[in-house]
Amino acid sequence: MGAMERSSGGTTDLRSGVTGRDELAELYAVTARRWVRAGFVSTLDGRVGGPDGLSGSIGSPADKVVFDTVRALADVVVVASGTLRVEGYTRLATAPGWLDHRERAGRPPHPPLVAVTASGDLPERLLQERPGTGDLVVAVARRTDPRRVAGLRDRLGDEAVLVCGTDEVEPEVLLEQLAERGWRHVLLEGGPSLLAQWVDAEVVDELCLTLRPLLVGGGGPSLLTGAPERVRQARLLSVLSLDDDLMMRYRLR
Ligand SMILES: NC(=O)c1ccc[n+]([C@@H]2O[C@H](COP(=O)([O-])OP(=O)(O)OC[C@H]3O[C@@H](n4cnc5c(N)ncnc54)[C@H](OP(=O)(O)O)[C@@H]3O)[C@@H](O)[C@H]2O)c1
């Protein structure tokens, strides 16, 4: 990573050369006891995927730096099943270079992944245990097919299946159950329909948004796909720039 520009509180631009993990950890540090952060990448026209429907095709090396940073600083990562399927998720592995930081922070090497699903239908590659990765927890609803829930309990253990609502996984119920496990710094990685629900429920404290200088068009999902129409004000906490990308932290509540 080369030099980046940083603005503090959205007011002052400094050329501070944020090049190391310690500086990134400081810039993205969370001091609140509980915090929900969402991490997304978007094109200039608000698309969260390229023509292939994948976020990787609109990503960049600079976005990956922030992606790895916020993952490394999380107690737990939450992802909805649509994204898990499309993006081919497996259990999570911390990016090389961040393991020491996690150890110093008293965190396990790899963050646990919480899969959010009402159908209970998760891809096999996600369910498979893999050495050098974090645990998998599944959040379902009471309406989830009991046979699927029983299958998940058999496969992953009772402790790994959370029932967090009647028809859907309700954000507040899920977050409370995660906090009971000591997972208070939560990263929501996707997808946009889950982000829309969480923003609507006003549980997201911070949005880390990478803005890529791309125009994609088409009819794919945007950042808040499906959210009720309402103007919500965000406050800029910091912005990094590298090449033509902007990596912003916004406070949402
Ligand atoms: N640019 C980015 O940063 C970024 C990040 C992530 C994803 N993406 C892109 O976003 C797209 C996928 O997003 P999406 O909005 O279509 O899907 P999504 O939000 O990832 O997943 C939707 C699915 O998750 C489950 N789900 C969502 N909310 C739930 C709730 N409250 N309770 C229970 N289950 C719930 C349901 O699946 P079940 O059928 O299992 O019930 C639902 O069909 C992909 O193209 C992906 O590449 C982009």
Q: What is the pLDDT of residues 206-247, one digit of tens each?
A: 999 999 999 999 989 999 999 999 999 999 999 999 889 999
Q: How confident is the model at residue 17 (pLDDT cuts 50, 70, 90)?
A: low
Gap from CA of 121 to ligand 1 centroid (Å): 13
Q: What pLDDT does residue 242 have?
A: 87
Residue 15 has pLDDT above 50, yes or no: no
Residue 213 lies in a domain: yes
β pairing state of 76-80 and 185-190: parallel
Distance, CA of 74 to CA of 13 (rounded, Å):
27
The strand pairing partners of 137, in sequence order, are 114
Residue 234 lies in a domain: no
Residue 253 lies in a domain: no
Q: What is the pLDDT of residues 164-213, one digit of tens each?
A: 999 999 999 999 999 999 999 999 999 999 999 999 999 999 999 999 99
Which CATH number goes with the domain that contains 190? 3.40.430.10
Gap from CA of 189 to ligand 1 centroid (Å): 10
Is the separation of the CB atoms in 76 and 175 below 8 Å? no
Q: For ligand 1, atom 41, which residue shows the shortest CA distance? A: 118
* Residue 40 alpha carbon, nearest atom of ligand 1: 3
Q: Which domain holds residue 110?
A: 5-227
Residue 235 lies in a domain: no
Phi-psi label, residue 217: left if phi above 0, alpha if psi -120 to 50, beta otherwise: left
Average pLDDT (153-171) is 98
Q: Which of 194, 207, 211 to mutate to test the pocket of ligand 1 (most atoms within 8 A of CB)?
A: 194
Tokens for 208, please give them. Answer: 């880390």
Q: How confident is the model at residue 20 (pLDDT cuts 50, 70, 90)?
A: confident
Residue 237 lies in a domain: no
Residue 250 lies in a domain: no
The distance from CA 247 to its chain's CA centroid, rounded to whole angstroms, is 15
Residue 153 lies in a domain: yes
Residue 138 has pLDDT above 60, yes or no: yes
Q: What is the pLDDT of residues 48-87, one digit of tens each?
A: 999 999 999 999 999 999 999 999 999 999 999 999 999 9
Tokens for 122, please give them. Answer: 């998760």
Extract the runs of DSSP E, i.e. beta strands, from 95-205.
113-116, 136-140, 161-163, 185-190
* Residue 118 alpha carbon, nearest atom of ligand 1: 41
Is the separation of the CB atoms in 201 and 176 below 8 Å? no
Q: What is the pLDDT of residues 80-105, one digit of tens each?
A: 999 999 999 999 999 999 999 999 99
Q: What pLDDT does residue 143 have?
A: 98
Residue 233 lies in a domain: no
Q: Which of 70, 173, 193, 204 to mutate to test the pocket of ligand 1 (most atoms within 8 A of CB)?
A: 193
Residue 140 has pLDDT above 90, yes or no: yes
Is the separation of the CB atoms in 120 and 152 below 8 Å? yes
Q: How confident is the model at residue 12 (pLDDT cuts 50, 70, 90)?
A: very low
How many structural domains is the chain composed of?
A: 1
What's phi and psi for 178, nearest 5 deg? -70, -40
Buried b (16+ CB within 10 A) or exposed e, 118-129: bebebeeebbee
Instruction: State pTM to two decimals.
Output: 0.95
